[in-house]
A = this chain, B = another copy of it.
Amino acid sequence: MSATIRDVAKLAGVSVASVSRVLNSKGYISTETKDKVEEAIKLLKYEPNQVARSLTVKKTKTIALFVPDITNPFFSTLAKGVEEQANSKGFTLILCNYDESGGEKNSHIDLIKQKYVDGIIFAAGKLNPRDAVKIKHSKIPLVALDRIPDMETECVIFVDNYKGAKMAVEHLLDMGCKKIGHIYGPQEISTARDRLLAYEDVMRDSPLYSPSLMTSGDFTIESGIEATKTLLERHPDLDGIFAGNDMMAIGALKALHRRGIKVPEQIAVCGFDGISLTEVTNPELTTVAQPTYEIGKLAAESLIKFISDLYFNEKIIKLDASLVIRESTKKIGVKL
């Protein structure tokens, strides 16, 4: 169908090796042959076959992104960052909606393993052990989010969750909150642990501190609603909620609204992540924003650099989150 390198070689009256040299600007080539080859390429509308190329070089200019749920705005923002960076470097992105439970369905890892994917960005919280072994065994370079690097071909990017969470709780205190509850996420996930830890460290000294001010959620809106109900039952005099992520904070907002509790007047609410949803709630939600898009971009950039040069400039990259103050914590006339 479409032209091959041999067609080009024939038309230009040179060998395939010379065409290849022109294509890759590699090796010695006279300007004369170079021109002839380029002429032939144009004439035949030749485009090199990437698959054939990949077979020998064992690279495909393709990276894979693993996310737990692309529907979650945090991950779609991340994906956008990754995709745009990858594209700008001539890479193609494979999207894997990774459900750690695995089950009997096709494992994404099996599917991509023999496709010579150049690298993986792993943004899903948990990795099931079977898949972890597969990845490690495959030696595919990896950039992970929020975990400890344990192979050579691995780089980790993470946001300082502890510091971010600390800012959030301190902000609530600044706004005059005394009795602040925390809805924490699944403790298998390190980010959730760090946020809880920061909350405890800040609050421990408070005279009103109590373990019953902390309750669990699973990062969904629904769990935020439930957790808020629980907190209100335990502490009717609650005046602040720090949720482990934005989705649960939105749940809190919903639960409070249903009970007719005014935010922020009666209870201030703060989330974590900085997803775009926080701008559409009413009241708009104060949150600790992660530079999500940038994380994606940076992850792709680091990975591609590794793929090209085979080393990571930095194995651990730490970023800061920033507090975005909105209506949900703006108590006017803070009483001291």
On A, residues with C-beta under 8 Å from B are 47-52, 54-55, 60-62, 65, 69-71, 73, 76-77, 79-80, 83-84, 87-88, 90-97, 105-106, 108, 110-116, 221, 250, 253-254, 257, 276-277, 279-282
Whether B108 pairs with A47 at a CB distance below 8 angstroms is: no
Given contacts A70-B76, A94-B92, A277-B277, contact A115 B83 (CB under 8 A): no
Alpha-carbon separation in the docked complex, A277 to B257 (Å): 17
Whether B70 pairs with A60 at a CB distance below 8 angstroms is: no
Residues of B within 8 A of A60 (CB): 51, 115
Distance in angstroms from A271 CB to nearest chain B CB is: 12
Residues of B within 8 A of A276 (CB): 71
Residues of B within 8 A of A113 (CB): 47
Residues of B within 8 A of A97 (CB): 80, 83-84, 87
- What are 10 inter-chain pairs, A to B, with CB distance below 8 A? A47-B113, A52-B55, A71-B77, A71-B80, A84-B97, A87-B111, A91-B111, A94-B95, A250-B280, A253-B282
Residues of B within 8 A of A61 (CB): 111
* A80, A95, A254 — most chain B CB neighbours (10 Å): A95
Residues of B within 8 A of A282 (CB): 253-254, 257, 281-282
Give 5 A-B pairs besides A65-B95, A80-B97, A91-B111 with Cβ atoms closer than 8 angstroms.
A51-B60, A87-B111, A92-B94, A257-B282, A277-B280
Distance in angstroms from A103 CB to nearest chain B CB is: 11
**Residue of B whose beta carbon sits closest to that of A64:** B92
Alpha-carbon separation in the docked complex, A88 to B90 (Å): 28
Given contacts A80-B70, A92-B94, contact A55 B47 (CB under 8 A): no
Whether B76 pairs with A114 at a CB distance below 8 angstroms is: no
Distance in angstroms from A138 CB to nearest chain B CB is: 9
Residues of B within 8 A of A95 (CB): 65, 79, 83, 93-95
Given contacts A93-B94, A280-B221, contact A79 B70 (CB under 8 A): yes
A-B interface, 8 closest residue pairs, ranked by CB to CB distance from nearest:
A282-B282, A95-B95, A50-B114, A76-B76, A50-B115, A83-B97, A51-B54, A70-B76
Alpha-carbon separation in the docked complex, A221 to B50 (Å): 41
Whether A70 pairs with B73 at a CB distance below 8 angstroms is: no
Distance in angstroms from A336 CB to nearest chain B CB is: 30
Residues of B within 8 A of A93 (CB): 94-96
Whether A114 pairs with B47 at a CB distance below 8 angstroms is: yes
Whether A92 pairs with B76 at a CB distance below 8 angstroms is: no
Whether A106 pairs with B79 at a CB distance below 8 angstroms is: no
